[in-house]
């Protein structure tokens, strides 16, 4: 235990995010969201000429109390992409003491990939013989790292517009190759979309029977086509993915009724069966939720204390 506030840089934050512990904490958070026991007010943001600063606090009983401050600005070095920089502040849920401040970009990237992986392991059919990862940025890299851990023997195809970046990213998985987006999707039993798309990156006609689709991108536009959403069994982290307008809600889900989507926490708790047959198309649309940041921050903090990482400051 530290008497001050533990400060973790990006590398120290990421080092504390043990995948197995994170999966357990995310499961607890998602089930708590489904149970209605999470306290998380609607997202708010302050607009600046070139971007925004978002604020996302939440309390997950028995997991933690935290708030994320994140700026979303265009990345001038990579046209068409945006940066997500900021901090996550973790507090003691019993007495309100500030415990730690850590890197928000690491928290967001890893917990997003971990949630998509949890959905894949929960919803995909029993015989996923190939996985497609669409995208070549930070989020796709985080996703490849987790696939290398949990699906090391499953072939993975990285699909992207930039062949060189796709080949470079593919090196992060022992059985990964690179190709076009369409080539990656066709023949894959699971497709994980990790792009900054403003319009759909895949078509329903490309998807194999019984495929699982996970989508964590598309904050500036729909990442999935309407037919994929219409024909799939739909799963989300929270009802606001359907009922809230973007960017809190998903572009693809606007106009749907709240009952159209099943909470992933309902499946993880055993209250919903999830996939109902090998031939069913399952679609997990992620918009993120502050409860997931709380879960990741708690895991990173515990790991840092155990391993002696970070700098303690007296506030």
CATH number at residue 62: 3.30.1780.10
Could you tell me if 144 and 280 lie in one domain? yes
Of the ranges 49-53, 207-211, 290-294, which one carries the lowest mean pLDDT score? Answer: 49-53
Residue 154 inside a domain? The answer is yes
Range of the domain at 300: 5-107+290-313
The whole-number pLDDT of residue 80 equals 58
Q: In the 8-state DSSP scheme, what is residue 205? A: G
pLDDT at residue 119, as a whole number: 98
- What is residue 79's predicted lDDT score, i.e. its pLDDT? 63
What's the rounded Cα separation, in Å, for the pair 90 and 184?
A: 39
DSSP type of residue 39: B
Percent of the chain with pLDDT over 70: 97
pLDDT tens for each residue of 161-202:
999 999 999 999 999 999 999 999 999 999 999 998 889 999
* Whole-number Å distance between alpha carbons of 155 and 176: 6
Report the C-alpha gap between 315 and 299 in whole angstroms.
22
Any domain includes 114: no
Contact 132, 157 (CB under 8 A): yes
For residues 222 and 277, membership in a common domain is answered with yes
Across the strands, what pairs with 176? Answer: 156
CATH of the domain at 242: 3.40.50.720
Rounding to the nearest 10 degrees, give the CA dihedral for residues 185, 189, 195, 200. 60
Q: On the CB side of 312, how many CA atoms lie within 13 Å of its CA?
A: 10
3-class DSSP state of 312: strand
State yes or no: pLDDT of 77 exceeds 80: no
Structural domain count, the chain: 2
At 189, give phi and psi (nearest 5°).
Answer: -80, -15
Task: Report whether pLDDT(81) > 70.
Answer: no
Segment 107-145, tens digit of pLDDT: 999 999 999 999 999 999 877 999 999 999 999 999 999
Q: Is the pLDDT of residue 296 over 90?
A: yes
């Amino acid at each position: 235990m530290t008497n001050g506030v533990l400060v973790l840089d990006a590398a120290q934050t990421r080092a504390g995010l043990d995948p197995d512990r994170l999966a357990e904490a995310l499961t607890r958070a998602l089930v708590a969201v489904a149970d209605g026991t999470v306290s998380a007010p609607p997202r708010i943001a302050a607009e600046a000429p070139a971007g925004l600063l978002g604020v996302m606090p939440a309390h997950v009983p028995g997991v933690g109390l935290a708030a994320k401050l994140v700026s979303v600005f265009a990345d001038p070095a990579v046209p068409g992409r945006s940066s997500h920089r900021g901090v996550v502040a973790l507090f003691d849920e019993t007495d309100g003491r500030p415990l730690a401040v850590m890197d928000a970009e690491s928290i967001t990237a890893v917990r997003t990939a971990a949630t998509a992986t949890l959905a894949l392991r929960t919803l995909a059919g029993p015989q996923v013989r190939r996985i497609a990862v669409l995208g070549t940025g930070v989020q796709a890299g985080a996703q490849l790292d987790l696939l290398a851990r949990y699906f090391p023997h499953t072939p993975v195809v990285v699909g992207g517009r930039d062949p060189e970046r796709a080949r470079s990213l593919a090196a992060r998985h022992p059985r990964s190759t690179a190709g076009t987006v369409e080539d990656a999707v066709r023949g894959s039993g699971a497709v994980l979309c990790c792009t900054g798309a403003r319009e759909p990156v895949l078509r329903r006609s490309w998807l194999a029977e019984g495929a699982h689709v996970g989508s964590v991108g598309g904050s500036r536009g729909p990442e999935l086509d309407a037919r994929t959403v219409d024909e799939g069994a739909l799963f989300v982290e929270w009802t606001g993915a359907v009922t809230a307008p973007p960017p809190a809600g998903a572009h693809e889900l606007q106009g749907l009724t709240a009952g159209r989507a099943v909470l992933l926490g309902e499946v993880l708790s055993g209250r919903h069966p999830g996939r109902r047959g090998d031939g069913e198309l399952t679609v997990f649309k992620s918009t993120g939720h502050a409860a997931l940041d709380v879960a990741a921050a708690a895991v990173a903090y515990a790991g840092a204390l155990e391993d002696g990482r970070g700098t303690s400051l007296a506030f």
